[in-house]
Amino acid sequence: MESSDRPRYVLGEELAIRKLVTFYYREMSRQFYTSGEKHDFWEFVYVDNGELEVFTDSGRHHLAQGDMIFYKPNLFHGGKALNSTAPNLIILSFECTAPCMAFFEDKSFRLHENERLLLSRIVQEGLQAFDPPINSPHLAGCPSKRDGAAFGGDQLIRNYLEILLIELIRKGAPGKDAARLSSVSVEQHGDEFVSSVIGYLQNNLARSFKFDQLCEEFAISRTRMKALFREKHGIGVMEYFNRLKIEQAKRLIREEAATVSEIAERLGYSSLHYFSKQFKRIMDMTPSDYARSITARAERIRGKPHDSVDNGR
């Protein structure tokens, strides 16, 4: 049989996303409030940290860390920070006319690890693909492609997003239980170990560790500890710990829970100078500059009566 005569299987397509409207990673203040709006495209909001109350035409929803909510086209929605937390939000809106999108109407989800991983990959690609990046306080409205962006970034965002939606639909289909392996794979064991270390670090943010102390605490070799963290997070465990401290510092600044000096002391820094140096190295701004940027953003949001959770403009 000639190769040109061989039959071809045409791959099906349940949904397709070709256009983004907005894509933000927002660090809100504890005073965050938006009176709401509605628009003719789909949107989801994921709470990466803190708590959020959302109000829509269909009722009120309390979202905690790990929760995601979808807004169908033309659904009025708004929201505010809850319980004096300063929420971090992933906000992504897009066009999609596939009939299966009806599944997401009036739906919220608690994401599992594989779904959070897909969302993390979408965010990582968004940070590299657009200018300004999606976590910039200067980003408003539709994203613009960055000059010199990595090859295939747009396509990966689209593919990961479509896969995430498909996974959520599959999870919600009646009578469909995902097949589970009877034994724990080496990869799963490595993930569980890294999660255990991260949990330990999160519970000890006020302490100072040396790398050898952590290896001894978890009875693991230096080489294995380095390999596991770099494989999963792309950085070493001590740098990861530094970033956890800075994320906590940012949250305390946004919640206005302490002065900069008090925050440095709470997080176990030897001096205010060293804390400020580490903060600027990771955030490219000082703690004081970060606090001013949060205040300015909150004032901009409050200054526009119909600003939405989805735009922060």
Report pLDDT digits (tens) over 64-87.
989 999 999 999 999 999 988 999
Q: Is 238 helix (H, G, I), strand (E, B) or coil?
A: helix
User: Around Cβ 44, how many Cβ atoms within 10 Å?
Assistant: 23
Band of pLDDT at residue 240, cut at 50, 70 and 90? very high
Structure confidence at residue 84 (pLDDT)? 86
Determine which helix (DSSP H) or strand (DSSP E) holds 220, and give its type and residue range.
none
Report residue 115 as tokens. Answer: 């779904």
Structure confidence at residue 1 (pLDDT)? 58
DSSP assignment letter at 98: -
Mean pLDDT of 157-182: 74
Distance (Å, whole) CA 135 – CA 17: 22
Task: Give Cα 98 distance to the centre of its chain.
Answer: 25
Structure confidence at residue 139 (pLDDT)? 82
Structure confidence at residue 154 (pLDDT)? 96
Structural contact between residues 41 and 95, judged by C-beta atoms closer than 8 angstroms: yes
Calculate ∠ Cα 23-29-33, nearest 5°: 75
Structure confidence at residue 104 (pLDDT)? 96
- Closest C-alpha to 287, from 240, 238, 246, 245: 246
Structure confidence at residue 137 (pLDDT)? 80
25 — alpha (psi -120 to 50), left (phi > 0) or beta?
beta
Compute the Cα dihedral for 113, 117, 122, 123 and give only its sign.
positive
Residue 188 vs residue 214, higher pLDDT? 214
The identity of residue 259, as a single letter, is T
Q: Which residues does residue 138 pair with via DSSP β-bridges, in sequence order?
A: none
The identity of residue 153, as a single letter, is G
Mean pLDDT of 172-198: 58
DSSP assignment letter at 14: S
User: Around Cβ 5, how many Cβ atoms within 10 Å?
Assistant: 6
Q: Does 136 score more than 60 pLDDT?
A: yes
Mean pLDDT of 225-237: 87
Distance (Å, whole) CA 263 – CA 16: 46
